[in-house]
Amino acid sequence: MVFSSLEFIFLFLPAFMIVYGLVPTKYKNATLFVGSIFFYSMGVLKKPIYIVLFLLTILFNFIIGEFIENFRKASRLWLVIGIVFNFWWLLFFKYTGFTMENINLFLKNDLPLRDIVLPIGISFYTFQNVSYIIDVYRRKAKAETNLINYGAYISMFPQLIAGPIVKYETVAAQLRNRTHNIRLVEDGLKTFTIGLGYKVLLANQVGGLWTQIGNIGFRSISTPLAWMGILAYTFQIYFDFCGYSYMAIGLGKIMGFDIPKNFDHPYMSTTMGEFWRRWHITLGSWFREYVYIPLGGSRVKTSLIVRNYLVVWLFTGVWHGASWNFILWGLVLFGLIMLERFVIGDFLNKYRIAGHLYMFLVIPLTWLIFAVTDFSQLGVYFSRLVPLFPVKTYAVMEKDYVKYLGIYWKYFLACFVFSTNIPEKIYKKIKSSFFCVILLLIAFWASVYCMYMGMDDPFLYFRF
């Protein structure tokens, strides 16, 4: 069950909100906890053991937090036990198959490969659990003494599956005392609708071109269509994930939670460093606070700064997936950010037009590395983007790009406009107007129609 589904919008959400609204305040966290576990269970019905694992991680980290808080002399030991426990499950489910496959390749063995299905949301709830026990160890947060409150924090269904990654200290006070009123419900529904429109009306529609190119085959597309395809994926992944984050923030508002912003118009950046301060903000903050700064951050000599960045970007690549293309992707981002930091960054920031042109080129190219896991196919696609290198091609339909441009130009235009901050500025001015309500109702029912017609896809970030 996903946010952009008729089952969620017309069955689960109304039923949950009715119960949540009717129960007394002291039972709202319990309602949220139970509702979130039910929501999670709908995604793992074929693997019910994952529900047990999820509940086990909640209980274990709750206990570890208590031990760290109350047994300070052994707090470091408990912290290490907690970190190992959390990352063991993430490593097992996410990287066992990748590790065995590469062992077989390197040693020319034929060890059996297990088909391990990744539990939904494990990358996100693992990071939240780890941030909690680290913050308790650092005394930045008090250990939660109520298991229901901690369970509600970790399992909160708006951000459970794909973030934003919410630190405990961000919502600790709200777990005990938060505001519920009609203004927050209205604001939350509006924010949710914007996210729904981003996902269904923009991401899904423009992403259709990337899907069609995959069906055609990379060897059978022209250079203009290859560029259109990677631009389509560039917009798809943004509006897909940004749309999810908006929906999560909107649902949080309805329940009185202030879920942190996860995107800040990243495609308006002039450097890759700036881009990653605007994209998936909560993940970047997590790596900065729990990896980069503990390694010394920027307070050390240059060689160690480079090392720290390398570690962060290798981890960022590996976190996104168990495949060599993600490692390459992380290394390419590291190289670009180092190039900007030591060579071209000042120029790009000073001459912003040059910066935007630079980003217009490198953003799609880096997303291509992210999107295509097969290196041979990745090489083919690059050869279609820049047809200077000999590669075997099949029949390419003459002026294929004309056909697809005629279909997708309106989605490209809409995506370009909504990736800027112009619509947000307009929205803030008309947010309280009746006209805004009409626009959002149109967006909502247009999204519902698309979902009813089957014009919907799973969220891309669910697989990470």
Query: Which residues are the active-site residues?
Result: 320
Instruction: Say if CB 126 and CB 90 are below 8 A apart.
Output: yes
Distance CA 64, CA 182 (A): 38
CA dihedral 105, 109, 114, 117 (to 10 degrees): -10
**221 backbone φψ class: left, alpha, beta (φ>0; ψ -120 to 50):** beta
**How far is CA 334 from each of CA 16, 146, 197, 309, 313, rounded to the nearest angstrom?**
43, 41, 33, 7, 6
CA distance 197 to 203: 9
Q: How far apart are CA 87 and CA 161, in angstroms?
A: 17
In whole angstroms, what is the distance from residue 268 CA to residue 245 CA?
A: 18
Closest among 68, 62, 372 to 214, alpha carbons compared: 372
